[in-house]
Amino acid sequence: MLRNLFVSIVLALTFVAPTRLHAAEKPNVLFISVDDLNDWIGCLGGHPQAKTPNIDRLAASGVLFTNAHCPAPACNPCRSAIMTGISPHVSGLYDNRQKMREIMPDAELLPKYFSRHGYWSAGSGKILHYFIDAQSWDEYYPPKETEDPFPRTLYPKNRPVNLPVGGPWQYKETDWAALDATDEEFGGDWLVSKWIGEQLEKKHDKPFFLACGIYRPHEPWFVPKKYFDQFPLEDIQLPPGYKEDDLADLPPAGQKRGPNRYFPHIREHGQWKQGIQGYLASIAFADAMVGRVIDSLENGPNHKNTIVVLWSDHGWHLGEKQHWQKFTGWRVCTRVPLIVRVPNGAPGLPQGTKAGTTCDEPVTLLSLFPTLTQLAGLPDMETNDGPSLLPLLADADSDWPHASITYLSKPGSYGLSDNRWRYIEYENGDRELYDIETDPFEWENLAEKPEQADRIAALRAHAPTKFAKFVAASDESLVKLKWHPADDSAKLVSKPDGDKFDLVFSNKRNHPVKVFWMDRQGNPKSFGTLEAGWRKPLKTRPGAVWLITDAEENQLGYFVVGDRTAHAIVPAK
């Protein structure tokens, strides 16, 4: 008995000791995300004026993927997919209105997975969609308990600065301006890169997984003046992918997806070039912040043992297809920078990556999770939906049978790239097909050409046939609309402007209330009675005003609808 115990202990020690040793050899991971950065970086050539020397330097030291696409063209579904390794069409998380932890309450995120396998996981800045998810990290800056990933950031006192508000539909951050401030005074990403740099310059007991979330060039495009100065307004060139009349051959769903309110509004106010300038300046700023992080790594003790990944969550339209913003299936919106640099000795790729490599195979950011776990020699995560990029990191020309799929906001709609063609299918069956080799900006839709039928069938064969249902966010997680108590002096007039969405009314009073929509003249239109404790979603538009009365139609208060779906709670008292 005793003898057996002794043998067991010896055996245990024998196995534990080398494992520990092994853990110490595990490579660190520096995981850099840049928000809303399209292919306007020097090494991808998306815009001739883009200045990104630091990102270019990183690209030149590792593998640059030139045909990488996001899993979804919006922050929330994209970042949720990357961090869980679960595809939107599997999870049902398709757009920004949904809540990751409502849809995937138990999913283990990349940092947690590394933590569980002996890593110290830390992060700073925007990695998830406006929350930290404290349970997934060992440390965060700002502190994870706050669930606010943003350090202090300088904003202009009076806003908007350059782009007037076009209506209630407009996102309040769509604006640009040069700030008379130093990087340090600006804060934000400078503070993120500072904190990340401090971690990189330290020696750590454990290998680290360090996530750096650079927020620019996400709106608002406010950055210190020196970055604007690099792009004189008079020299600004329009986006190379812009073509005035490239909508005609789009199917109805594409025609609907393209033009939005922003672009004509921006042009109407003569702000197109200013907007481009703001985006280029924000990219240059973001690049400088990335540079600080890379410098810290290179100057610190972890340089030789750290995998570096840089990615952006999706692209951006600056007028292409008459669109300004994201959320589309076109390449300008789905193509993203992706750079991977692996040092020698990484368990999954002992020879490391070769500097100056470019890879043109179609890849997706869903692959980041399995790629990183394999590089670090960790067991595969069963729920990962993307293929590991290891074969391509080992040999950029190796056989790659996959296509890259970007899931759009409605189940069944997606954009798909192989190594030459780009195919878009909308939920109503509308289709687009482009030959990226000859038509990189997707100006000529070939989907209706009979000779392309086989090609379309072959491309579609890469796409799933089943799509998880869209799971709406709970009332509790919606933005709460401000309750304005009745005020005789307030003129209650709706100025509806923008697309329809749901407004969820909840009556917390102990008596029934009546709900009225105020029309443009200020006349109430009844939407019925909401009994005590009842709930009712109603369709509304930005700028609408909803009046709440008691059963006798005495005014109790009102709501003014903003730019997104929200929860309108009639308070208890």
Partner 1 sequence: MPQYLRTRTALFLCSLCLLAATVHAQATAADRPNVLFISVDDLRPELGCYGNEEIKTPHFDAFSKRATTFTQAYCQAAVCAPSRASVMTGLRPDSTRVWDLRGNFRQNLPDVVTLPQHFHKHGYHTVSMGKIFHNHMPDRVSFDEPDLRPAKYMTAELIDREPESFYHDDALNAELVRIRKRRLEKNPNAYADGWAYGRSTESFDAPDSEFYDGAQTDLAIQTLGRLKEKKQPFFLALGYYRPHLPFVAPTKYWELYDRDQLSMASNPFLPKNSPVMAMNSAYELKGCYDLEHVKHPSVAKLTEQEARLLKHGYYASVSFVDACLGKLLKGLTEHGLDKNTIIVVWGDHGWKLGEHGSWCKQTNYDIDLRVPLLVHVPGQTSSGACRAIVELVDLYPTLCDAAGIAIPDNMEGTSFLPLLSDPELNWKSAAFSQFHRSPRVTPDGGRYMGLSMVTSRYHYVQWRDWNHVTGVAGDLVAVELYDQQVDPSENTNIAGLDKHQPLVTKLSQQLHRGWQFAMPVE
Applying CB under 8 A, the residues found at the interface with partner 1 are 469, 504-505, 512, 526, 528, 531-537
Comparison of 3 and 539: residue with beta carbon closer to partner 1:
539
Q: How far is the CB of 507 from partner 1 (least distance, A)?
A: 10
454 Cβ contact list (under 8 Å, min separation 6): none
Q: How far is the CB of 568 from partner 1 (least distance, A)?
A: 12
Q: How far is the CB of 532 from partner 1 (least distance, A)?
A: 8
End-to-end CA distance of the chain: 72
Q: How far is the CB of 74 from partner 1 (least distance, A)?
A: 22
Length in residues, the chain: 573
As a whole number of angstroms, the distance between CA 188 and CA 286 comes to: 11
Give Cα separations from 179 to 171, 311, 474, 556 (angstroms): 20, 27, 38, 43
Between helix 189-200 and helix 272-299 the angle, nearest 10°, is 20
Comparison of 156 and 412: residue with beta carbon closer to partner 1:
412
Ramachandran sector of residue 254 (left: φ over 0; alpha: ψ -120 to 50; beta: rest): alpha
Comparison of 455 and 514: residue with beta carbon closer to partner 1:
514
Side-chain-facing half-sphere of 378: CA atoms under 13 Å: 27
Q: How far is the CB of 551 from partner 1 (least distance, A)?
A: 10
Q: How far is the CB of 503 from partner 1 (least distance, A)?
A: 11
Q: How far is the CB of 468 from partner 1 (least distance, A)?
A: 11
Comparison of 458 and 551: residue with beta carbon closer to partner 1:
551
- Among residues 109, 108, 138, 102, the alpha carbon closest in space to that of 123 is found at 138
Scan for tokens 């109407």, then name that residue. Answer: 268
Comparison of 237 and 474: residue with beta carbon closer to partner 1:
474
Decide if 129 is catalytic: yes
Decide if 43 is catalytic: no
Comparison of 159 and 509: residue with beta carbon closer to partner 1:
509
Sequential DSSP letters for 444-494: S--TT-GGGHHHHHHHHTTS-S--PPP-PPPGGGSEEPPPEE--TT-----
Question: Would you say 108 and 85 are in contact if contact means Cβ atoms under 8 Å apart?
Answer: no
Q: Beta strand 338-341 with 306-312: parallel, antiparallel or unpaired?
A: antiparallel
Q: How far is the CB of 409 from partner 1 (least distance, A)?
A: 16
Tell me the one-letter amino acid at 484: H
What's the count of helices (H) and strands (E) in the chain, helices before strands? 16, 27
- Tell the burial category of 484 from Cβ atoms under 10 Å away from its Cβ (0-12, 13-18, 19+): middle
Q: What is the 3-state secondary structure (H, E, C) of 266-300?
A: HHHCCCHHHHHHHHHHHHHHHHHHHHHHHHHHHHC
Q: How far is the CB of 412 from partner 1 (least distance, A)?
A: 11
Comparison of 92 and 188: residue with beta carbon closer to partner 1:
92
Comparison of 146 and 474: residue with beta carbon closer to partner 1:
474
- Which stretches of 156-258 are assigned E, i.e. beta strand? 176-179, 208-214, 221-224
The active-site residue out of 75, 212, 333, 359 is 75
Question: Would you say 454 and 257 are in contact if contact means Cβ atoms under 8 Å apart?
Answer: no
- Tell the burial category of 42 from Cβ atoms under 10 Å away from its Cβ (0-12, 13-18, 19+): buried
102-114 as b/e, with b when 16 or more CB fall inside 10 Å? ebbeebbbbbbbb
As a whole number of angstroms, the distance between CA 84 and CA 368 comes to: 10
Q: How far is the CB of 518 from partner 1 (least distance, A)?
A: 16
Comparison of 301 and 533: residue with beta carbon closer to partner 1:
533
The active-site residue out of 47, 89, 129, 323 is 129
Tell me the one-letter amino acid at 235: D
As a whole number of angstroms, the distance between CA 122 and CA 115 comes to: 9
Comparison of 165 and 551: residue with beta carbon closer to partner 1:
551
As a whole number of angstroms, the distance between CA 48 and CA 38 comes to: 13
- Residues facing 139 on adjacent strands: 122
Write out the catalytic residue numbers.
75, 129
